[in-house]
A and B are shown apart, each in its own frame.
Chain A
Amino acid sequence: MSKKRLIPKLQLKTSSFDKNRMVLVITKQFDKVIEIGDAVSQAKIYQDQGADELIFINIDRQDKDIEKLSRIIRKVSEEIFMPITVGGGVTTEEDFRVLLSNGADKISVNTHAFRHPEFITETSEKYGAQCVVISIDYKKNAAGSYVVCIDNGQAETDMHPLDWAIECEKRGAGELLLSSIDRDGTNEGLDTDLTRQIAEAVSIPVITSGGCGLAKHFSDGYQVGMADAVAAGTFFAHRDQNFMQTRSQIRNAGVNIRLFT
């Protein structure tokens, strides 16, 4: 039985001081981007603290240079021996190949998969379903209904995230990464309702994210939201959170996660 996973999400953008470099950032509701440091050294800290996987996402709205992203992944994978998911601006099979050959294990696709759902099937057949993670950003629209958002959360669609999730699985996705835009960076807790609806409707693993501010939010994600994994960015990066302590608290809540002795 796979243990529940705890996944730091490292969001990247091109540095405002050096266009050739990508830096680690945190966000609030997909806006208000703050540069906080070096992704490689932060990734090493997460490894030492026993993170179960790492997710790297390029959230830069202008710069979607896959080569630049792959350079960071290469550096990370030369020193870090844990599973790595990478995404942000992936639109071609060649992007898959470049990122995989630089050390990524799974590739996350968002907007391009939404606009061209056949891309999910093509990459799943070529690289295996386990490699294809579909990232679904969602929020509640003005009418209060859940909708999928694309283009870094900038564009609302009229698709319900549950319908899109089912479609992704049907087309060959191996895993789903859900992100609540409304809750991103707010520390108010995960959207366990929608997470649960999706987790119950699909048979592929579901990672949920957006809103973790307390250890309890994580255990709620697993126990109430039925998620297989919870990812968090701000929670681990911005505050001086003790990863090991968070883990113990989650474990004490009765969640089967890895613990180091």
Chain B
Amino acid sequence: MAGWSEKVLDIDLSTQTYKTYPLDMEMARLYIGGRGLGARLLWDMVGPDVDPLAPENVLIFTNGPLTGTGYQTSNRFSVTTKSPLTGTILDANSGGFWGMQFKKTGHDVMIIRGRAQKPVWIEIKNDEIKFHDASELWGMRVFALTEKLGQNNNKRNVLCIGPAGENLSRIAAIMNDRERALARGGPGAVMGSKNLKAIVVEGKERPGIVDKDQFKFLLYEARKSLAQSPLTSQALPEFGTVVLMNIMNNVGALATRNHQQTQFEGAEAISGEELTDNYLVKNAACWACPISCTRITRTEKVEGEGPEFESTWAFGAQCGIADLPAIIEANSLCNDLGLDTISTGSTIACAMELSEKGYMDSDLRFGLADRLAPVIEALAYRRDIGADLADGSLRLATKYGHPELSMSSKGLEMPAYDPRGMQGQGLLYATSNRGGCHMRGNMVGPEVLGAPKLIDRFQVQGKSSFVILHQDTAAAIDSLVLCKFTNYGVAEEYFARVLSAVTGIKYSTGDMIKVGERVWNLERLYNLREGFTSKDDTLPPRLLSEAPTDGPSKGWVVQLEPMLKEYYRGRGWDEHGVPTSRKLNELELNNLV
């Protein structure tokens, strides 16, 4: 069948052996690829008895039927595992080139099991799989390692962990193509626990396409739409995502100093406008992406990709720091050490508040830009104060007796959007299956940017229907796997049409959104099986009870309870947040429980 390679590569690091077998195509039809396929496979492989850092946990790398076809942003891939940070199901996806190259090796899925006795790295050239001793590579940072292993964007691509993953930091990322990240929830620690330093891929296979004429037409149409949209043709290429800094600050929804305020007086100094005027070298793009939102920036000390909005916020407003060069350098350092920038910045901010309030003995204080780099280094190596910070803000705050100061949901640090100024975003964070996250759907479009249309950001009643739609759509796009930015210029009708053209299976838009709903419910079932309950669908007490005392969000806290009740009903779940048998039947999930 076209689109999929119909092949699974299953690697056991304990024995350094591998096997390949056919992909279950009925499973592929129901879950497509990426996040969906990963979730379905993890359901069978990793139960509640497995510690995330034990050899029995797995890393499942997946691409999708569109990956490598050349359709706009068809470069992405996913990793699915049980998160060592949250204990929930985790998937993270990344762009760049590695996903496209992995698809060209002729595999849809790569499962990594077990634990190598000594550090190894894996080299995959089409059907040829080699295990190499990585003893001499252990300890290397990401940039040097990526170069050493022969990164060549269109021919040979490197995915690896840095020292943070080796040292099992629960906020460690897996990096690919030097500065792209499978960042959230600690997949780098899982890879480190397996003594796996890197996976290098080279391939020659081209994905099959059933209806090539229709595919070419849709490619042309999508390119035209992306070129016509002011969001994808001007906003993202010209200013990148950091342009959100000023608007989020202006409307009073920019989390500041560990969410103690909702506006940052230094926002302009760390804005997209400032970055573009003074630090931008040029734009760059992932494979097959016409948007080119990547920003290559330079300071006196570093030159590289980013930082994106969330990273700039995490080291900026969240830490009370208005020093853009220090933020750019912190972002680069995290990429080199293999760390999730959102969790790292927010964990440092948590430590700053704990220290300022006298709960923790350290010299960290809000606004101290020169402390960023040393603390990040210490965190990656679990040295000194870094030992406390390496496992994220919830474990840190709990150790010092104040778990309420961790700005996380289900243990995952939330990103920049303060939900007191965006009620729907609060519901979205609280119900996100991998914890506080803006990529499982994001209400910034309708609640602030007016995309596709503006809704009242403070309204509570009826908000859940928007959140559900966003979550299901995001899960569908993550299963294709495409970049969500394309959806700013191209309707998801196009995704269904291109999926049909590539695979020969007729998918309507409704079918595709149904896949997203199925994936969302399966992830929910996974978390319920792990022992999570409706009590975990919540937010830090600060966001539920401490209203901002000034600014445009003055007087607002997140009205979570009524939204949550409405959300459960809208999802077809019972009052405890458990999917009903009727819903499971509707989604063809009834055979799993």
Same complex for A and B? Answer: no
